[in-house]
């Protein structure tokens, strides 16, 4: 319980309303030139002038508060958010109330900060700022490295020391505060500067470890968007291994520490020497293998003498002559067979004619034997009507009678 101050106004003193109000205002502002209050925000409104009016409360009391336009606020204010405000007490005589003019505001408690970060992460992720398709590959041998960090912080010294140990390169520093209300704006400006000037091969955004509240500038939208829009590959080396800021998701590569960022951006001299040794060994091995193969190919080549070549060609000619003789003999034999067949053709034709003549005689005999003339020779007759049709009944009128010796007209 705070001590109760001694009264300094005499009981017999009489004040005007304005004097009493001004006296109270002076007392309050003198007694509370700065105060930090922790509580829960409610009734947040923004006037057309840009000023923000709200109430900070707990379970037993509530105090009006004002944030004048231009006062930096690094996160979205919402009803129910627990915060710690820093400001000064004052009174507003026209309404006979008191209030706190807020100079700075911060989240109270890790839970509230994590909730805010998760909501912001989901929003930016939905915009595609964290997509893997946006990630760029780090250059193998960068010539110039841009670093955005505090020039007096340990992070920059750690990066320089590690670069000198591994693979010295040219380093350009963009000085930026890495904590406080202006940190996010300065870090984003550093990223945009290197992209605008296009004077580095890779960018490192770095800061040493700290409390979650201290690292919040690296989760501000302005920083995340600058990192995501960078056309130069960017490494985030903020905090220590367990620390995760939203810039880590937008960066092309996330390093666990500023020193780790330096290790990622350049190779070590030893590793390069080993890589060159391995490459040299592979080249020597490949060259040796090629020479061995060429020697084997040369040894397998038999150089023939002109005499041997002539004999081989003569042998091929003999083989070709033999083959041609066989083909010619076969052709001659085939022609002889055809000539013999043609010479036998008259005999074959005579035999065929004799057979055909016998067949005709046989057919003639059969025709004669089947002819009705032979029947008439045996005493039969054929009776026809006037239309020359054969009569077979007594009802028809005969017109002629055909006998073996001739036809009788009736």
Residue range(s) in the chain whose domain bears CATH number 3.40.50.2300:
115-130+141-267
What spatial distance separates the first Cα and last Cα of the chain, rounded to whole Å?
173
More confident residue, 249 or 269: 249
Give tens-digit pLDDT for 7-43.
767 777 887 888 878 887 887 778 778 899 999 899 9
Distance CA 49, CA 71 (A): 13
How high is the pLDDT of residue 115? 79
How high is the pLDDT of residue 242? 77
Q: Taking residues 145-156, report their average pLDDT.
A: 94
21-25, 267-271, 329-333: lowest mean pLDDT where?
267-271
Q: Does the pLDDT at position 100 exceed 70? A: yes
Residue range(s) in the chain whose domain bears CATH number 2.40.50.140:
17-108
Give tens-digit pLDDT for 365-380.
777 777 777 777 777 7
More confident residue, 294 or 272: 294
How high is the pLDDT of residue 64? 92
How high is the pLDDT of residue 348? 74
Whole-model pTM? 0.51
CATH 3.50.50.60 at 115-130+141-267, yes or no: no
How high is the pLDDT of residue 129? 94
Q: Taking residues 338-343, report their average pLDDT.
A: 70
3-7, 42-46, 58-62, 299-303: lowest mean pLDDT where?
299-303
What CATH number labels 17-108?
A: 2.40.50.140
* Percent of the chain topping pLDDT 70: 92
More confident residue, 339 or 275: 339
């Amino acid at each position: 319980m705070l001590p109760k101050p001694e009264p300094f106004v005499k009981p017999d003193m009489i004040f005007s309303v304005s004097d009493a109000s001004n006296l109270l205002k002076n007392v309050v502002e003198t007694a509370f030139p700065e105060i930090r209050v922790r509580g829960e925000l409610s009734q947040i409104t923004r006037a057309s002038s840009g000023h923000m009016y709200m109430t900070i409360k707990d379970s037993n009391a509530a105090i009006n508060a004002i944030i004048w336009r231009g006062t930096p606020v690094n996160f979205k204010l919402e009803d129910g958010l627990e915060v710690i405000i820093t400001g000064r007490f004052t009174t507003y005589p026209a309404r006979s109330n008191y209030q706190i003019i807020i100079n700075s505001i911060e989240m109270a408690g890790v839970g509230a900060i994590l909730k805010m970060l998760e909501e912001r992460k989901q929003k930016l992720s939905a915009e595609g700022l964290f997509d893997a398709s946006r990630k760029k590959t780090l250059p193998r041998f960068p010539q110039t490295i841009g670093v955005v960090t505090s020039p007096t912080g340990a992070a920059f010294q750690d990066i320089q020391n590690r670069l000198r140990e591994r693979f010295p390169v040219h380093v350009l520093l963009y000085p930026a505060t890495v904590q406080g209300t202006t940190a996010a704006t300065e870090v984003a400006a550093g990223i945009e500067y290197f992209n605008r000037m296009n004077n580095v091969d890779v960018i490192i955004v770095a800061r040493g470890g700290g409390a979650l509240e201290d690292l919040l500038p690296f989760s501000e939208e302005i920083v995340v968007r600058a990192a995501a829009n960078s056309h130069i590959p960017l490494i985030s080396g903020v905090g220590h291994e367990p620390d995760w800021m939203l810039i880590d998701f937008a960066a092309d590569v996330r390093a666990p520490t500023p020193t780790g960022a330096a290790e990622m951006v350049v190779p070590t001299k030893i590793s390069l020497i080993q890589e060159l040794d391995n490459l040299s060994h592979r080249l020597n091995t490949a060259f040796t293998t090629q020479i061995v193969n060429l020697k084997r190919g040369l040894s397998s080549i038999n150089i023939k003498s002109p005499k041997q070549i002539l004999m081989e060609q003569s042998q091929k000619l003999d083989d070709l002559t033999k083959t041609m003789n066989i083909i010619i003999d076969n052709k001659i034999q085939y022609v002889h067979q055809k000539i013999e067949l043609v010479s036998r053709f008259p005999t074959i034709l005579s035999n065929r004619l004799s057979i055909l003549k016998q067949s005709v005689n046989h057919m003639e005999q059969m025709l004669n034997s089947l002819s009705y003339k032979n029947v008439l020779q045996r005493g039969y007759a054929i009776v026809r009507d006037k239309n020359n049709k054969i009569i077979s009944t007594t009802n028809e009128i005969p017109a002629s009678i055909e006998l073996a010796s001739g036809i009788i007209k009736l």
